[in-house]
Amino acid sequence: MIKVGIVGGTGYTGIELLRLLVVHPEVSVAVVTSRSDVGRRVDTLYPSLRGHINQHFVAPELENLKVCDVVFFATPNGIAMFLAEELLQLGIKVIDLSADFRLKDPALWEQWYGQSHACPDLIEQAVYGLPEINRVAIQGANLVACPGCYPTATQLGFLPLLEKGVVDETSLIADVKSGVSGAGRAAQVSALMSETGEGFSAYAVSGHRHLPEITQGLEGVANKAVKLTFVPHLTPMVRGIHATLYARLLDPTTDLQALFEQRYQDEYFVDVLPPGSHPKTNHVKGSNRCQLAVFHPQGGDQVVVLSVIDNLVKGAAGQAVQNMNLMLGLTEHQGLNLVGLYP
């Protein structure tokens, strides 16, 4: 059995990792860390895991993690970078769900995350964990930087268009909505139900931390600079990302449906819906799936792509497990055959 550790086992992504990993046929959850709950049984804090795990929370220290084959960091930004190097030196693979290793330019990372990077030498070694683009590199990786939820939905929607060069890469627009769980589990007024319920709003319009990550990924696909307007919104639901993406077609006669179907025909976790479909976040809730629909309104020069994921699964923990499977030579969808919850 593969021994895994989860650093940060009490946040939403950490809890979601536990939900997925305790039923993975090739995995044994060996270590779960928490600074505030050391000594408590994991299933006491999360009764939904009773009968699946016998571990107690331990401190996030190297000595506790040495027994692992793989360590997941489900932590806030700025934590994985302090432990990753020592784990890698011990031959332990690292999968980071935070942003510590996503950006290839350390100066850009420091600009957006407001602190000095503790191990910039590891950034080049890290593989960006979007399997639909980097599958081969992930298979040989020891350090994987899992994409954010906004970047996952946005990149998967724009990917076929930019790969084939059928849109103007200088006028991309991403209008993206997220459920409240995307803000994390820490108590904050802005995430209270009385604050988010019956309301809908944009935020960080002048610049969101995921913007440079999305831009970096899209430029890697397009092999040229792109200009993206990215506007995130907070919606009164718990889970889900809905991205409405706009681009200007260079050739309005392009068969967009065929383009998307061909690009994703072999992708287990990307589902291109039939023409005229409108994907909903609740159709992928609890699953590791991205559902896409592509439109060419009124036959003009605009293409509209709709992309939905569960921000805690394909946007975080599920994608991390998908990466683990690739890194360890397992079947990519092992432990992830999850059907979306409905209603």
Catalytic residues: 149
Q: Closest Cα to residue 249, out of 334, 150, 172?
A: 172
Q: Give kind and range of the element (H or E) at residue 272.
A: strand 270-272
DSSP character for 63? H
Q: Give kind and range of the element (H or E) at residue 322.
A: helix 318-327
CA–CA distance, 44 with 241 (Å, rounded to integer)? 30
Sequence letter at residue 238: V
Sequence letter at residue 58: V
Q: Closest Cα to residue 203, out of 240, 166, 177, 185?
A: 177
Q: Are 149 and 243 in contact (CB under 8 A)?
A: no
175: CB partners within 8 A, 6+ apart: 231, 233, 243, 244, 245, 246
CA–CA distance, 133 with 30 (Å, rounded to integer)? 31
Contacts of 289-298 with CB under 8 Å at 24 or more apart are 289/314, 289/338, 289/340, 290/152, 290/153, 290/156, 290/314, 292/156, 292/157, 292/260, 292/264, 294/256, 294/257, 294/259, 294/260, 295/256, 296/249, 296/252, 296/256
* 86-to-65, 72, 80 alpha-carbon distances in Å: 10, 14, 11
Q: Are 85 and 109 in contact (CB under 8 A)?
A: no
H runs (alpha helix) in 30-73: 42-45, 62-65
